[in-house]
């Protein structure tokens, strides 16, 4: 079982994220608005920050957030059905291209991309919505 690490203090997170802190908060809030209860679980990571945050709803990981200097690395995995929904969605072409080029695994296709601005929050929200669309 993967070890859970101590959550960073709000000040520690804010110091690293800088201007991207509003984007971090926005992503967490928009996902929390759709999925309550939302749990933030911190795990060790090879990133410079040393931790990754999993946004989970009922033990299901919806999206992974890695805080970086002035930006956030977002990682998400879509299963086959969700990937099919993505293709016909309003998600930006560059994100669709990342998924199209992603290596398929048993649990689906996963991508990582950087978010820096508030305009990216809706993209993350849309991806989580697609991932969790009922059959």
Q: pLDDT digit string (tens) for 104-128?
A: 988 899 999 999 999 999 999 999 9
Number of structural domains found in the chain: 1
- 91: which 2 tokens? 């998600």
Task: State the pTM of this model.
Answer: 0.93
Residue 2 domain-assigned (yes or no): no
Distance linking the first and last C-alpha atoms of the chain? 30
Residue 5 domain-assigned (yes or no): no
Helix (H, G, I), strand (E, B) or coil at 78: strand
Mean pLDDT of all residues in 27-43? 96
Asked if residue 60 has pLDDT above 50, the reply is yes
Among candidate residues 49, 54, 39, the one with its CA nearest the CA of residue 13: 49
Residue 111 domain-assigned (yes or no): yes
Residue 4 domain-assigned (yes or no): no
Asked if residue 3 has pLDDT above 80, the reply is no
| CATH code for position 33 | 3.90.1150
Mean pLDDT of all residues in 60-64? 97
- 82: which 2 tokens? 């969700």
Which pLDDT does position 6 carry in this prediction?
A: 84
Question: What are the start-end ranges of the E strands in 3-69?
Answer: 39-44, 51-57, 60-68
Which positions ≥6 away from 119 have C-beta within 8 Å? none
| Domain around 114 | 10-131
Residue 76 domain-assigned (yes or no): yes
Helix (H, G, I), strand (E, B) or coil at 133: coil
């Amino acid at each position: 079982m993967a070890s859970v690490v101590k959550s960073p203090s709000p000040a520690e997170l804010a110091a690293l994220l800088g201007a991207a802190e509003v984007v971090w908060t926005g992503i967490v809030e928009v996902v929390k608005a759709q999925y309550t209860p939302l749990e933030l679980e911190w795990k060790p990571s090879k990133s410079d920050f040393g931790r990754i945050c999993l946004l989970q709803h009922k033990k299901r990981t919806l999206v992974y957030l890695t805080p970086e200097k002035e930006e956030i690395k977002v990682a998400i995995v879509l299963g086959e059905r969700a990937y099919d929904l993505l293709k016909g969605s309003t998600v930006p072409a560059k994100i669709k291209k990342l998924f199209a080029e992603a290596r398929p695994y048993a649990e689906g296709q996963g991508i990582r991309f950087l978010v820096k601005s508030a305009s990216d929050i809706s993209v993350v929200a849309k991806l989580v919505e697609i991932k969790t669309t009922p059959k």
